[in-house]
A and B are shown apart, each in its own frame.
Chain A
Amino acid sequence: MADIVLDKVTKAFPDGTLAVQEFNLEIADGEFVILVGPSGCGKSTTLNMIAGLEDISSGELRIDGQRVNDKAPRDRDIAMVFQSYALYPNMTVRENMAFPLKLAKLSREEIDRKVDEAAKVLELTALLDRKPANLSGGQRQRVAMGRAIVRSPKAFLMDEPLSNLDAKLRVQMRTVVSRLQKRLGTTTVYVTHDQTEAMTLGDRVVIMRAGAIQQVGEPQELYDHPNNLFVAGFIGSPSMNFLPATVSDGSLHTSLGDFPLGERLRSRLADVSGDLIVGIRPEHFEDASLIEDSIRQRGAEFEATADLVESMGSDKYVYFTVEGEKASAAELEELAADAGSGDLPSSGSNLVCRFSAESRVKEGDTARIWVNLDKIHLFDPSNGRNVTLHEGRSSGVSA
């Protein structure tokens, strides 16, 4: 077990691609850190540099306080689980799991003992004599995990270990991974594409974009206080709604209507002028008829026609189209491209609201909607910064 420190770690590929830039992160002993970001943002490259499979172009990587930049993977004592599992097809499950121990020249009895122990933890005991070709996807995944845990390494690195599994199995394996990590208490760096994995698995989440860290924090922290547009749009599903806005005469003008600026916003908008982007999470809207008077004055109301209502049982997702310009910023385009919705034809902006299940709104109805102004975020479209965060927080990492 060990702490891992990345100090201005940078990776430039020979062809000039700057895959990772000045990556700073301190991972505490036993911590579970998640790296997320859109495709091609440098997650795997970062992980491979920690593993020693890619050279570090500049900066320093320390494991347990020791500089390991120039150490071979085998001298770093780190285990890795690959997206493809990378099981040795010519070896049985037992041999696969014993392989790292054999290379470490352990005695036969010790190897057998450790393999049996790991197999028991991962419920692989009955499969020990099978070849990988005769295992299901989930079983292969567990063997890959088993191979990583048998030798009790200083840290685990996992590169999208669950992305090849089907949805149901993924949920199941997520809890397996989580429990295993808690039980072993081994420092873990986990790369994923998946919102849910990022929010549920890690102690801390690192959001990356184009090789640079956008924000590091506990999942809830990232959700509640995103540093910038990119983080705000990336975390959350369905994602935050963005609309263009301007500020004048103490009120906020949006295509939903004019909202009064409360105490909270007014103090932070003192030195901001011009165009803004307002960001509102779906759950911060509510069917206005369901709002109690005590909290009604914390928000504002407007009317819109529901395009689509999806009832989830526990709550309702209601989709509206808001006429007028769309919010535009480089970050938003990038997020849309990553989500594959970059070129969906639509006039105006789409608004997703989460209402409680008691709401009687139906498709085609003109609904009265309440929005919680305490929870809205305002972003500067030129640099993506969240201007609603208090200074201390937003100065941490810049966009």
Chain B
Amino acid sequence: MTGAKWRWGFLDLVVIVFALIPVLWIASLSFKTPATITDGDFIPREWTLENYRNIFNTDQFVRALVNSIGIGLISTLVAVVLGTMAAYAIARLDFPGKKLLIGISLLIAMFPQVSLVSPLFEIERSIGLFDTWPGLILPYITFGLPLAIYTLSAFFRQIPWDLEKAAKMDGATQGEAFRRVIAPLAAPGVFTTAILVFIFCWNDFLFAISLTSTERSRTVPAALSFFQGASQFEDPTGAISAAAVIITIPIILFVLFFQRRIVSGLTSGAVKG
């Protein structure tokens, strides 16, 4: 029994180390001075915040950060609002074409994004969306929405139907029943979904690199690849590392902050337990 436990513990450790070493390596690089950046030491010999100072002093990075946050939030908001409505309908109603809707959204979620890049590039260029916020927001919603519908309908299915009936018997309209009874219970699901969709948008490199051309709408992952460092002749490794660390932070915060809410008992006590 304990033998198995130790084996699994060891395996977990290997996986964690394997996943975390590169992250720590990047973090370590971001604190090194240009002179020591290639020394290969895991712990920097000379600590410096110069890299961070530099990237926040360049317009390039700050602008990309603003783009990333703006585009990510707008896409997430739209996808989650639409997804909530669609998922609620899927979980609660029997309407013609329900199977088709689920099938299509699954199809979209599975669709290889890379095959869409060239057509999207052409389309956006001809209708003037290329290198604009909406030009990225649209594809993000397209792929974020099926994700939202999937996660949310799983959550809605867990909420007992009877609660809604009870609310109606207690004198609530359909809207009140949703707002005052269903929505509070669905909140953890909505948060989870929002985080997943936001992470998807935040991490995307493929669309970001192909559908933008200037700082106007370039997001951080794309902007990183254009990093030149503070001056033209400087090695940008330190700056890129610092930027990579910066964009990892919101994700870590998000997950840590909402973890409690996500896993806490969703509907315990509603019905017989």
Contact = CB atoms under 8 A, between A and B. Distances in A.
Contact of A147 (B170, B173, B265, B270): B170
Contacts of A90: 184-185
A277 interface: no
Interface residues of A, number: 31
Given A86-B160, A87-B270, A133-B265, A74 B165 contact: no
A135 interface: yes
Nearest to A90: B184
Contacts of A131: 269
A80 B166 contact: yes
A145 B145 CA distance: 41
A74 B269 contact: no
Contacts of A132: 269-270
Contacts of B185: 89-90
B225 to A, nearest CB: 46
Interface in A84-132: 84-90, 99-100, 103-104, 131-132
Range for the number of chain B residues in contact with chain A: 20 to 34
Nearest to A51: B169
B122 to A, nearest CB: 46
A193 to B, nearest CB: 16
A100 B269 contact: no
Candidate in B163, B172, B269 with the most chain A CB atoms within 10 angstroms: B269
A74 B166 CA distance: 10
Interface string B190-221: 00000000000000000000000000000000
B85 to A, nearest CB: 21
B162 A86 contact: yes
Given A73-B168, A89-B185, A82 B162 contact: yes
B176 A86 contact: no
Given A74-B168, A133-B265, A88 B270 contact: yes
A133 B273 contact: yes
Contacts of B169: 51, 53, 73-74, 78-80
A51 B273 CA distance: 26
B261 to A, nearest CB: 13
A220 interface: no
Interface of B: 160, 162-163, 165-173, 176, 180-181, 184-185, 265, 267-273
Interface of A: 51-53, 72-74, 78-80, 82, 84-90, 99-100, 103-104, 131-135, 137, 140, 147, 151, 164
